[in-house]
Amino acid sequence: MEKLSAVWHHRPRTWRTLAFLALDAAVLALSLYLAFLVRFDGRIAPRYLSILFSVLPLAVGVKVVVLASLGMYRFSWAYVGMEELVKTVLACAGGSLAFAGMLFALRHWPAAASVPRSIIKALGIGEVGEVITASFCCLLLSCVL
């Protein structure tokens, strides 16, 4: 445990940023899966499951870039207030809009054209809570280590 703690604190900003990025990527992937699950009442048809796995890298990549460009990895979650909460909500909404824009731009790609539009709405709503929860978990992890 001490070795992990020493590695974590050797370059704290880099390691914490990477931890946030990895956790956000996992949470965003889970968010897209849950959006599909909710849309199809708990049973995703094989056709839509293949669409999910086709657009998953695009969704996660676009959203992580938007989150990073809007400064989500630059402030300390130890001192979070209403300003950071608003920033998180706006970043998640911006990520969903960017993903929707990418789907529109790639509308000639069969997988992008087949994504149900209700998925985008559900994704935007659900990921706000998930990103905040994941960030709080990273904060707890950094306090423990």
The pLDDT score that the predictor gives to residue 90 is: 80
The pLDDT score that the predictor gives to residue 109 is: 87
pLDDT of 6 strictly over 70: no
The pLDDT score that the predictor gives to residue 127 is: 62
Task: Provide the mean pLDDT of the chain.
Answer: 77
The pLDDT score that the predictor gives to residue 57 is: 92
The pLDDT score that the predictor gives to residue 88 is: 78
pLDDT of 141 strictly over 70: no
pLDDT of 12 strictly over 80: no
Instruction: Tell me what percent of the chain is helix, strand and coil, each rounded to the nearest 5.
Output: 85, 0, 15
Q: What's the domain count of the chain?
A: 1
Residue 111 CB contacts under 8 Å (≥ 6 apart), including other chains: 50, 51, 54, 55
pLDDT digits (tens, 9 = 90+) for 42-76: 888 889 999 989 999 998 999 888 888 887 777 76
Rounded CA separation 119/39 (Å): 7
pLDDT digits (tens, 9 = 90+) for 93-112: 888 888 888 888 888 888 87
Q: Which residue has the tokens 């604190």?
A: 9
Domain that holds residue 30: 2-144
